[in-house]
């Protein structure tokens, strides 16, 4: 690859030297799964490198399909393949894998309970590109589809475990991924990942933070800050947004307040799912949602956007403290 | 590559007698009227228009085994215009692939035989279409799977000319041509009709064959009521190394003089018209 080509690829696909050298946790896990199960096929819509499927392309070329910039067609093709016994993993950015082809996902994957895994990268406010590439409603859309499982792992180990789990699961899944860029904290032990089971990462009686995806690390940061001012909170990693773990109900009953945290609109995603579960189980508790507050955002660095739109550890900790004061009054 | 694979069994009756296929088509037209008449629901004009296509596909072309509906190497048929079910269900029943008595509950509450065919029915409905424009993409997925697995299955997709206004269809056409899917055959039911009337008064899709040719297919224009022409075109399609698009010109309401040429997407069928239609189709039978 010439130096000029290399620069072009970095600009669009990686954007930082750290990312360029980051381990392709998803791509490696998919290739491993496909080596175990010859029914697994891989489809991508002109986004091979950004979805780490270059490893699959080079490792198992006969099961790799480049469909071009045509997401609706890709979903239909996957539906046809699944009906013939294949297990297609389809890849794009989160926005284009969901909103762009929603009807196709509904009819060719969700309704027939096709064994297709829809995998999106670039969740929420994690792109310089701007509003066209920001997926702030993808979890809401996928959650609304009957039969669809929705998973957002929180880190590399969980990404790997989730890929193995969904490959073994017979049915449609939406997997929402933030690619590793090398800046991750040491991964939590996630080898016990099971679809539909929450993980309690730390205990405290001062409140409960329920988070998914990138917000799990941020929730742990917030918990550290709160501990510094004498508030010990429980942090739950709710990697499966649908079906939501009903064990949350009993945990919630022990808590004075609950705050959900998601890199997504507060409408229709994790916060909505938790609220629905708790209300229908008569858990009446102080409740707040941290996420994108019913607005479109703009392009920018993740740290800038998370600060601006209230997804930072500081904002999350402040929300817990505000709720605690409200609870006490 | 697919054409080189020997089919291990050919359970279809493979009727090549054109007169027999004409009789079958007429019988399917009568069944179509009989399915729609009780409730007035269902698509009459499209069903009558496509009856010859269904007769040729299901009684001459498709390799199917009604006693083994899940046979891996069966040919797949996808009705992308999934609302055109009166003729579809009539054909499945005549072919012994669904229970004729159950089909008689067409469009009635609680019946799986809904206006739009869904996979609730089981394998004879290979995919749930009807959200227009999706059938060809699903067919491509099936064609790719058959190719990878060395299956002799061929994939047939029937869609309407109006459906060509859907953008996804052209994504799929581009891909199938690019991938050289020789085991894929698209039949366009070119009846010039859509909800709003004549297609040229809405958005013209002509010339269809030229468009598909430009997308890397072999496209042929044929008379959708000419049984011999259909048989020959399907024979040619099996021998190619490219996907085939048959643009089959059909006449809405074909076979019932009082209905022929009426471009009514949602034609309601009053009892007196149904009786007249059955008489016309019966008379035609006797005339033979």
CATH of the domain at A47: 3.40.50.970
Cis peptide before A181 (omega within 30 of 0): no
Range name among A56-65, B108-117, B202-211, B259-268 with the lowest pLDDT average: B259-268
Same domain, A148 and A273: no
Domain end (from A114, A146, A177): A177
Residue A11 confidence (pLDDT): 47
Residue A180 confidence (pLDDT): 87
Same domain, A173 and A259: no
Residues of A in contact with B175 (CB under 8 A): 67-68, 70, 73, 77
Q: Is B285's pLDDT higher than 80?
A: no
Q: Which residues of chain A have pLDDT under 50?
A: 1, 10-11, 13-15, 17
Q: Is B261's pLDDT higher than 60?
A: yes
pLDDT band with cut points at 50, 70 and 90 for residue B266: confident
Q: Is B1's pLDDT higher than 50?
A: no
CA distances from A32 to A56, A166, A176, A193, B246 (A): 9, 13, 19, 17, 43
Residue A326 confidence (pLDDT): 87
| b (16+ CB within 10 A) / e for B179-188 | bebbbbbbbb
DSSP B192-245: -EETTEEGGGT-----HHHHHHHTT-EEEEEETT-HHHHHHHHHHHHT-SS-EE
Residue A4 confidence (pLDDT): 59
Return d(Cα B91, Cα B98) in angstroms, integer.
9
Q: Is residue A109 part of a domain?
A: yes
Q: Is residue A63 part of a domain?
A: yes
**8 Å CB contact between A140 and A98:** no
Three-state DSSP class for A97? Answer: helix
Which residue in B55, B64, B57 sits closest to B20, CA to CA?
B55
Q: Is residue A193 part of a domain?
A: no
Residue A9 confidence (pLDDT): 52
Q: Is B183's pLDDT higher than 80?
A: yes
Q: Is residue A186 part of a domain?
A: no
Q: What integer is the mean pLDDT of B137-151?
A: 97
Domain residues for the domain of A85 are 3-177
Number of helices (H) and strands (E) in chain A: give both, helices first.
14, 12
Report chain B residues touching chain A, CB-CB < 8 A: 118-119, 126-131, 133-134, 136-146, 148-149, 167-168, 171-172, 174-175, 178
B7-22 per-position pLDDT tens digit: 455 555 688 899 999 9
Distance from CA of B250 to the nearest CA of A (A): 27
Q: What integer is the mean pLDDT of B107-131?
A: 95
Whether A108 and B142 lie within 8 Å, measured CB to CB? no
Whether B174 and A65 lie within 8 Å, measured CB to CB? no
Interface contacts (A, B; CB < 8 Å): 97
The residues pairing with B185 across neighbouring beta strands, listed in sequence order, are B156, B244
Distance from CA of A90 to the nearest CA of B (A): 12
Same domain, A156 and A210: no
Return d(Cα A67, Cα A149) in angstroms, integer.
25
The total number of structural domains that make up chain A: 2
Residue B3 confidence (pLDDT): 37
Residues of A in contact with B145 (CB under 8 A): 80-81, 84-86
Q: Which CATH superfamily is domain B2-6+18-287 in?
A: Thiamin diphosphate (ThDP)-binding fold, Pyr/PP domains (3.40.50.970)
Residue B39 confidence (pLDDT): 87
Same domain, A217 and A172: no
Residues of B in contact with A75 (CB under 8 A): 137
Domain end (from A177, A210, A232): A177
Return d(Cα B255, Cα B97) in angstroms, integer.
25
Interior CA angle at B94 toward B51 and B250, to 5°?
5
E strand or H helix that includes residue A149: strand A149-151
The residues pairing with B155 across neighbouring beta strands, listed in sequence order, are B76, B184
CATH of the domain at A225: 3.40.50.920
E strand or H helix that includes residue B272: helix B271-287
ipTM: 0.93
Same domain, A170 and A204: no
Whether B144 and A80 lie within 8 Å, measured CB to CB? yes
Question: What are the respective helix, strand and coil percentages of chain A, to the nearest 5?
Answer: 45, 20, 40
Radius of gyration of chain A (CA): 19
Q: Which of A44, A60, A77 to mutate to test the interface with B (most CBs of B within 10 A)?
A: A77
**Counting beta carbons within 10 angstroms of the beta carbon of residue B191, is it exposed (0 to 12), middle (13 to 18) or buried (19 or more)?**
buried
Q: Searching chain B, which residue's CA lies closest to the CA of residue A78?
A: B141
Same domain, A172 and A205: no
Q: Is residue A189 part of a domain?
A: no
Domain boundaries, chain B: 2-6+18-287
B68-83 per-position pLDDT tens digit: 999 999 999 999 999 9
Whether B148 and A63 lie within 8 Å, measured CB to CB? yes
Return d(Cα B120, Cα B85) in angstroms, integer.
14
Residue B6 confidence (pLDDT): 43
């Amino acid at each position: 690859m010439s130096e000029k080509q290399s620069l072009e690829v970095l600009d669009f696909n990686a954007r930082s030297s750290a990312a360029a050298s980051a381990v392709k946790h998803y791509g490696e896990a998919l290739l491993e799964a496909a080596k175990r199960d010859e029914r697994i096929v891989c489809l991508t819509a002109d986004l091979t490198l950004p979805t780490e499927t270059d490893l699959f392309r080079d490792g198992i070329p006969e099961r790799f399909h480049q469909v071009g910039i045509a997401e609706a067609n890709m979903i239909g093709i996957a539906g046809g393949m699944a009906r013939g016994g294949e297990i297609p993993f389809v890849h794009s950015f989160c926005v284009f894998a969901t909103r762009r082809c929603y009807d196709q996902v509904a009819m060719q994957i969700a309704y027939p309970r096709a064994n297709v895994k829809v995998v999106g990268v670039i969740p929420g406010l994690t792109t310089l590109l701007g509003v066209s590439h920001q997926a702030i409603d993808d979890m809401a859309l996928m959650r609304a589809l009957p039969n669809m499982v929705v998973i957002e792992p929180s880190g590399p180990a969980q990404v790997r475990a989730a890929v193995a789990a969904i490959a073994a699961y017979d049915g449609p899944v939406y997997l929402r991924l933030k690619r590793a860029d090398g800046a991750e904290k040491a991964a939590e032990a996630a080898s016990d990942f099971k679809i539909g089971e929450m993980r309690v990462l730390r205990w405290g009686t001062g409140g409960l933070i329920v988070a998914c995806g990138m917000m799990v690390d941020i929730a742990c940061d917030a918990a550290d800050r709160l501990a510094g001012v004498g508030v010990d909170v429980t942090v739950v990693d709710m990697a499966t947004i649908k079906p939501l773990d009903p064990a949350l109900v009993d945990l919630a009953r022990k808590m004075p307040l609950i705050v959900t945290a998601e890199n997504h609109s507060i409408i229709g995603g994790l916060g909505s799912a938790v609220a629905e579960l708790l209300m229908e189980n008569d858990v009446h508790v102080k409740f707040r949602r941290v996420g994108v507050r019913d607005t479109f955002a703009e392009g920018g660095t993740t740290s800038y956007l998370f600060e601006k739109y209230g997804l930072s550890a500081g904002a999350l900790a402040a929300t817990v403290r505000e709720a605690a004061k409200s609870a006490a009054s | 590559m697919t054409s080189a694979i020997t089919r291990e069994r050919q359970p279809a009756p493979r009727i090549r007698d054109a007169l027999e296929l004409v009789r079958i088509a007429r019988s399917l037209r009568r069944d179509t009227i009989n399915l729609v008449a009780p409730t007035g629901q269902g698509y009459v004009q499209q069903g009558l228009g496509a009856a010859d296509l269904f007769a040729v596909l299901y009684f001459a072309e498709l390799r199917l085994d009604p006693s083994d509906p899940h046979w891996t190497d069966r040919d797949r048929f996808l009705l992308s215009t999934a609302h055109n079910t009166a003729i579809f269900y009539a054909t499945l029943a005549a072919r012994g692939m669904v229970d004729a008595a159950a089909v008689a509950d067409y469009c009635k509450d609680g019946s799986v035989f809904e206006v739009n065919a869904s996979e609730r029915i089981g394998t004879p409905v290979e995919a749930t279409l009807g959200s227009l424009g999706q059938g060809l993409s699903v067919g491509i997925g099936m064609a790719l799977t058959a190719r990878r697995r060395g299956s002799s299955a061929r994939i047939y997709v029937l869609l309407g000319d109006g459906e060509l206004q859907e953008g996804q269809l052209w994504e799929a056409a581009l891909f199938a041509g690019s991938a050289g899917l020789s085991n894929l055959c698209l039949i366009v039911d070119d009846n010039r009709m859509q909800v709003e009337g004549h297609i040229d008064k809405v958005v013209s899709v002509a010339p269809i064959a030229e468009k598909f040719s430009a997308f890397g297919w072999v496209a042929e224009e044929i008379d959708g009521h000419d049984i011999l022409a259909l048989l020959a075109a399907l024979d040619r399609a099996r021998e190619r190394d490219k996907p085939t698009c048959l643009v089959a010109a059909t006449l809405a309401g074909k076979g019932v003089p009082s209905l022929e040429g009426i471009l009514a997407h949602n034609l309601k069928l009053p009892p007196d018209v149904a009786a007249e239609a059955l008489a016309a189709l019966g008379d035609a039978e006797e005339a033979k």
